Structure 1
Amino acid sequence: MNRWRSEQIKVGDLFEGMELFFEKGWTDGLPIVPPTPHKVEEMLSSLSLTGQEVIGSIPERNLQITAEKAAINAVMAGCLPAHFPVVIAGLEAVLDPRFGVHGPTASTGGASLLLIVSGPIVSQLGFNTGHNLLGPGHRTNLVIGRAVQLALINAGGTKEFDQTTLGHPGKIGFCLAEREQEEWETLNVEQGFRKEESTVTVIATEGPNQIYQPAAKTPEVLLRTIADRMVSAGTFNIQRNTPCVVVIGDEHWQLLVQEKWSKQEVKDYLFEHAKRPKTDLLDFGFSSDYLAGIDGEWVRAVPSPEALYLIAGGGKGGPFSAFIPGWGSLNQSQPVTKLITHSGFV
């Protein structure tokens, strides 16, 4: 009996196979690695998974994503078997009902699915946490983020349902690895896991907004600059109950730890200062009915310090950090963290 549920197609060579995938619309617009049965089998065998095990479902689309489909798309993305545990955990997070994947992947808002990897697996798999942290050139970061997106395109119906007006390059693949710093708790620990456990957190986001602050001599000045970037009237973060990510670059991080600011203190400060008078929003066309639904005189960029995901990373040198706005609201999509369990690296 054929162990594969997916259709098998014979082609003359690998280049013909790559062109076939373009013709069929099975790519993200970039070339893929042809998913031969041997390569797919290697991926599944690395985790002792059967192809028909269900990773999760999207009820709004009446679709399930199986391990076989995940493995096929991981091969296509350029993953090695060692990367597959993170891909599986990422898909488990994306398909968790709390995340509500149909919303961000069908919206006109064009959100990406940002994966944040935390724990020992970051160094074990060689994730980039330094120079060009959110850019090209690092296989592990890029292929894992791409594998999750491809699985949603080819098995999760995203191509059919996506109504994005503009989008951003993170929709091809968006995977950020957290640098472990002795002075700050890592995200896996913040989310209730042990330091030696590796996790992946998925958040629906817009693209990164770089923050340039070369003049700050105190944490307060630096963090007020970041807070100012967080309160643009044109983001979901100032309009709705929305989480976000802030990446603190190394030069800025050095200033904060030199002054002995903890991660929680930074989050508390940004929560308090990333706000603007709600009457400001009248100038941007927001109705008084909308403003009446906001308690007090201020509109905050995040509903709580816990809704701000603070990550240290980036190259040494250069006074840069980044704000990554969230998508929608917590009523539509909540960040989800999953333990990377299918691995000897747990």
Structure 2
Amino acid sequence: MPIVGLNAQDLVLDFEAGYRAGLVTMEMMNRPIYAYTPWDSIFVDVPTDNTVIDQVNIQEESRFQRFQKAFLPLGGMDFTPNQIQLGHIMLEAAISPQDLAGTAIDFLADQNMDRGKAPIVGIYLQSMLNSAINNFHKYETFKGVQAAIVEGTSTPQGGTINGIAEILRLARTNPSAAILPHTITPSPSVPTDDVEFVNYVEAFWDAIPDEIKELALPIVMSKLALQKFKRGLVGKYQNGSWNKLGYIVDLESFTEKLHMRTGTILGVPDMNGSNKIWMTVKRNAIRGLKNSNNLENWAVGVKDLKLVQASKDYWMGYGFLNYDWVYENAA
């Protein structure tokens, strides 16, 4: 089966160019929800040629002192290795243009051209990619626990990579780790009451050292927890002095209004269903990528002159450069 490189975006453009007005739009064909998550804005992309990103955390302790003739060295350095594992992931799809016969978009099959290059293949692959991204953020980026490979069997949902929750758990429970993420426990459990939840988040922020706050990324929580926090703000401060001082003017822009009190907060759907909140400093959370050019390109071939098969694969993994700059609650 001949395999050729095929750019899905080019085919989507072909689809749009040959589109018949009034039949179906791109928006109607796929509406991924999680594909619009701000999750990846937290992370710095680190391209690599390796499947593991090896780096060393250096902890040093030194200080200046008054000059004297005697040689009096102070402090020292500790070197702690840290690895960020990348997972090899793939996306595969198959489509038969003939299956569209008699439908509203059968013109996209274009029986007179190479089936592997038919516009319907392009829009189908783009829809498949959007769906895969949607599910990746819903089940993998935060919640994923990498599953063992069983040859010939598809990976279970949520088993493609280790998500941030599992990465933090492994770091926290590693008996040989010299540097652990910091756990902050404002109360024995995460409050269900909206106002108490605001108190909980404020206490979490207050426990973070000031030097970390200066470089802090947003406190990250689920989108649902963010809504709870907004409701709690109204309940706690609607008649309080903060309201009179103008701190809470527009709840939609409250992250800027409350920066002095709780830092900025980012709600992500990737974490929906979890009570976890966490934060780190800028450029400490990374996403390692190998063969990332495959993100834009499909390997496409035609089997038995009828079935179009497509696949793409690359390596990707999340992690932290230094766990000493990571803070999380105990949820």
What is the TM-score when the length of structure 1 is the normalising length? Answer: 0.30
By relative contact order (CA 8 Å, sep 6+), the higher-ranking structure is: 2
For the pair shown, the structure with the greater C-alpha radius of gyration is 2
More strand per residue = 2
